[in-house]
Chains A and B, each alone.
Chain A
Amino acid sequence: MLQLLNIHKTFNPGTVNEKKALNGVSLDLAAGDFATIVGSNGAGKSTLFTAITGGFIPDEGSVILDGEDLTFLPEYRRSKTIGHLFQDPLRGTAPHMTIEENLALAYLRAGTHQNAFFSRISRADKERFREHLALLDMGLEDRMKQPVGLLSGGQRQALTLLMATLVTPKLLLLDEHTAALDPATAEKVLELTKSIVAEKKITCLMVTHNMHQALTLGNRTLMMDSGRIVFDVKGDERRGMTVDDLLEKFRQNAGQALDNDRILLSKAEG
Chain B
Amino acid sequence: MLASIFSLNVIQTALELGCIYALVALALFISYSTLNIADLSTDGCFILGCAVACRVAQTGHPLLALPAAMVAGVLSGFITAFLQTRLGVESIMAGIIVNTGLYTVNLAVMGFASNLSLLKADTLFTLGKQLLSPVLGSWYALAIAAAFVAVACALVVLFLGTRLGLSIRATGDNAEMVRASSINPAFTITVGLCVSGSLTALSGGLLAQYQKSADINTGTGMVTIALASLIIGETLLGRGGRAGMVRRVFGVVVGSCLYRFVVAVALRFNVPAAAMKLVSAIIVAVAISAPTIRQRVAFEKRRRAAKAARAAKTGKEAV
Give CA–CA (A127, B222) in the complex, Å.
45
Chain A residues whose CB sits within 8 angstroms of the CB of B182 once the complex forms = 76-77, 79-80, 108-109, 114
Contact of B163 among A80, A120, A163 (CB under 8 A): A120
Q: Could you tell me if A164 and B180 are in contact, using CB atoms closer than 8 angstroms?
A: yes
Q: Least Cβ distance of B273 to chain A in Å?
A: 39
Task: Check: B104 CB closer than 8 A to any chain A CB.
Answer: no
* Cα separation A129 to B229 with both chains bound (whole Å): 37
Q: Are B166 and A79 in contact (CB under 8 A)?
A: no
Would A91 and B163 be within 8 Å (CB), given that A76-B182, A106-B181, A109-B182 are in contact? no
**Is the C-beta of A74 less than 8 angstroms from some C-beta in chain B?**
yes
Within 8 A of A (CB), among B113-171: 161-164, 166-167, 169-170
Shortest Cβ gap from A43 to chain B (Å): 23
B20 beta carbon closer than 8 Å to chain A: no
- Check: A94 CB closer than 8 A to any chain B CB: yes
Give the CA-CA distance A138 to B174 in the complex, in Å. 24
* Residues of A with C-beta under 8 A to B176: 91-92
Instruction: Decide: A96 near B240, CB < 8 A? Known: A105-B170, A117-B162, A117-B163.
Output: yes
| CB atoms of B167 and A105 under 8 A apart | yes
Residues of B contacting A147 in the complex (Cβ-Cβ under 8 angstroms): 240-242
B173 interface residue per 8 A CB criterion:
yes
Q: Residues of B contacting A92 with CB < 8 Å?
A: 176-177, 180
In the bound assembly, the distance between CA atoms of A76 and B182 in angstroms comes to 4
Return the chain A residue nearest B180 by Cβ: A79
| Residue with the greatest number of chain B CB neighbours at <10 A, chosen from A77, A80, A96, A106 | A96
Closest Cβ of chain B to A148, distance in Å, is 8
Q: Select B177's contact among A93, A114, A120, beta carbons within 8 Å.
A: A93
Cβ of B178 under 8 Å from chain A: yes
Q: Are B241 and A97 in contact (CB under 8 A)?
A: yes
Q: How far is the CA of A118 from the CA of B166 in the complex (A)?
A: 10
Residues of B contacting A121 in the complex (Cβ-Cβ under 8 angstroms): 161
Q: Compute how far the CA of A108 lies from the CA of B162 in the bound complex, rounded to whole angstroms.
A: 11
Question: Chain A nearest CB: distance from B227 CB in Å?
Answer: 19
**Min CB–CB distance A120 → chain B (angstroms):** 5
Q: How many residues of chain A are within 8 Å of chain B by beta carbon?
A: 35
Tell me, yes or no, whether A95 is within 8 Å of chain B by CB.
Answer: yes
In the complex the two chains form, what is the Cα distance from A137 to B129 in whole Å? 62
Residue of B nearest to A95 (CB): B173
- On whether the beta carbons of A120 and B161 are closer than 8 Å, the reply is yes
The dominant DSSP class at the B interface is helix
Q: List the A side residues contacting B161 at CB < 8 Å.
A: 120-121
Do B241 and A108 touch across chains, with their CB atoms under 8 A apart? no
Closest residue of B by beta carbon distance from A80: B182
Query: Would you give the shortest CB distance from B240 to chain A, in whole angstroms?
Result: 6
Give the contacting residue for B173; candidates A75, A97, A108; CB below 8 A.
A97
Q: Does A8 contact B (CB under 8 A)?
A: no
Is A76 in contact with B163, judged by CB distance below 8 angstroms? no
Does B179 sit within 8 A of A, measured CB to CB?
yes
Complex contact B169–A97 (CB within 8 A): yes
Distance in angstroms from A137 CB to nearest chain B CB is: 24
For residue A84, CB closer than 8 A to chain B, the reply is yes
Quote the shortest CB–CB distance from A151 to chain B (angstroms): 12
CB distance from A126 to the nearest CB of B (A): 13
Q: Mark B178-197, 1 if CB is under 8 A from A, else 0.
A: 11111111000000000000
Q: A117-B164, A118-B164, A119-B163 are in contact. Are A79 and B179 (CB under 8 A)?
A: yes
Q: Give Cα A84 to B164, complex, Å.
A: 22
Return the contact of A76 from the options B173, B179, B241 (Cβ within 8 A). Answer: B179
Q: Determine how close the nearest CB of chain A comes to the CB of B182; give it in whole angstroms.
A: 4
| Residue from the list A74, A97, A106, A149 in contact with B184, Cβ < 8 A | A74
Closest residue on chain A to residue B240 by CB atoms? A96
Contact digits for A103-141, partner B, Cβ 8 Å, 1 yes 0 no = 011101100011011111100000000000000000000
* Cβ–Cβ < 8 Å partners of A75 in chain B: 179
Asked if B241 and A98 sit within 8 Å, CB to CB, the answer is yes
Interface membership of chain B positions 193-214, coded 1 if the CB is closer than 8 angstroms to chain A and 0 otherwise? 0000000000000000000000
Tell whether A94 pairs with B170 under 8 Å between CB atoms, given A109-B182, A164-B180: yes
Complex interface: chain B residues within 8 A of A84 (CB): 180
CB distance from A166 to the nearest CB of B (A): 10
Which residues of A come within 8 Å of B, CB atoms? 74-77, 79-80, 83-84, 91-98, 101-102, 104-106, 108-109, 113-114, 116-121, 147, 149, 163-164
Chain B residues within CB distance 8 Å of chain A: 161-164, 166-167, 169-170, 173-174, 176-185, 240-242
In the complex, besides A94-B178, A147-B241, 12 extra interface pairs with C-beta distance below 8 angstroms are A76-B182, A76-B184, A91-B177, A95-B173, A96-B241, A97-B241, A101-B169, A102-B177, A105-B166, A105-B167, A106-B181, A118-B162
9 smallest beta-carbon distances between A and B, as pairs: A147-B241, A94-B173, A117-B164, A96-B241, A94-B170, A80-B182, A94-B174, A105-B181, A76-B179
